[in-house]
Amino acid sequence: MFVENVLPIVLGISILSLVVAAFLAKHVLSADTGKPEMRQISDAIREGAEAFLSRQYRTIGMLSIVAAALIFAFYFVNRDVKNIAEMGHGTFWRVTLSFLIGALCSAIAGYVGMFVSIRANIRAATAAMTSLNKALQIALRAGAVSGLTVVAMSLLGVGGLFYFFNGLVDYRHVPLQIVGFGFGASFVALFAQLGGGIYTKAADVGADLVGKVEAGIPEDDPRNPAVIADLVGDNVGDCAGRGADLFESTAAENVGAMILGIALFPVFGLGGILFPLLARAFGFVGGGTPFFFGAITITICLPSSRGNCSTSPTASRSFRTRSSSRSPNSLCAISRPRKRSVTFALSPSSRNWISLPSLIL
């Protein structure tokens, strides 16, 4: 493989991963939304989460523009300083543009995580009323949408900026100029995590103190408005905020590893700079393939009158062992079923077991 082909491969895999994420999102959103009573609660949570995130992102957007102006002014005024001059021509506008794109991509990654979560919750709950297997499918695929989007946006942003700034030619300076991408991602993640985290903790305390202690309303009862606010905070803090935070982590790791590749250029050449992006891109292949070319079968064991742990009816070449009270987390059944799936079961300490229906992920 020629090193010049690495960047197109990385960008192509990133775009393909976004397509896969869109396909999984379509599958999740096509599921049943349940009874009107369920939708009433879910709609209240969705409306609150979207309103909160919209207001929060408007504030973050204004702060990002102010920060970008300060970054531009700093690099422009000090463009003749030795350390900044060594970063290459046009550093002031390239770092600023990288900052804005990093902030935008981080906001998109967080919003996608929240958008899917507030719609997948009711669908997973509805599916659990009839099929544990289907509920787990919806939950995992909804999580995969956020995970694929976060890493794909990070790779696409870093790789796209590297290509747009002509990094294949000016490879010694461009990784230093796109460091603003990681800073922009961190800037958004900071406010997203703090804003959503403070909101959800305040709502949680309010729900417990006022609802449970003063009004005597049971915990997590939807009649308590603070419970709805707490669930809104879970989505905007743990989903949107965490999505932006994970995006910031992957972006900073990619850029940092590329900068280290500059120091190792005499040994590995351009391949050492692009290798971090290629390694991250290959993670998509390993993480996304099981959703289409294989399945994971989990057999859960519960106490029963039987003395062993059975596996999926489709399993073959399996072996069974009795559980022992001396091994509280022993593996009680492992098999390799047909259709390239893996069946396993973890057993707590007990002598009698029965297997629930297998969960095809």
Q: Which long-range contacts link 261-266 to residues 24+ away (Cβ below 8 Å)?
A: 261/175, 262/171, 262/172, 262/175, 262/176, 265/171, 265/172
With a CB cutoff of 8 Å and minimum separation 6, the contacts of 352 are 303, 304, 305, 306, 307
pLDDT tens per residue across span 54-97? 888 999 999 999 999 999 999 888 888 887 787 777 888 889 99
Q: What is the pLDDT of residue 281?
A: 86
Residue 177, C-beta contacts closer than 8 angstroms, at least 6 positions apart: 87, 88, 90, 91, 94, 95, 98, 165
pTM as predicted: 0.75
Q: Kindly report the backbone phi and psi dihedral angles of residue 344, in degrees, each rounded to the nearest multiple of 5, phi listed first.
A: -145, 160
User: What pLDDT, on the 0 to 100 scale, is given for residue 351?
Assistant: 36
Least confident of 112-116, 233-237, 324-328: 324-328
The per-residue pLDDT for range 102-123, each reduced to its tens digit, is 999 999 988 888 888 889 989 9
Indicate if the pLDDT at residue 334 is higher than 50.
no
Tell me how far the alpha carbon of residue 172 is from its chain's centroid: 31
Residue 348 or residue 221, greater confidence: 221
Give per-residue pLDDT as tens, 246-275.
Answer: 888 888 888 989 888 888 888 888 888 888
Amino acid in position 151: V
Q: 5 or 63: whose pLDDT is higher? A: 63
Q: Tokens 């294989």, residue? A: 294
Determine which of 56-65, 212-221, 314-323 has the lowest per-residue pLDDT on average: 314-323
Q: Is the dihedral of CA 188, 192, 193, 194 positive or negative?
A: positive
Residue with tokens 């990784």: 175
* Helical pair 132-164 and 270-288, crossing angle rounded to 10 deg: 160
Biggest alpha carbon distance in the chain? Answer: 80
pLDDT attached to residue 104? 93
Q: What pLDDT score does 190 carry?
A: 85
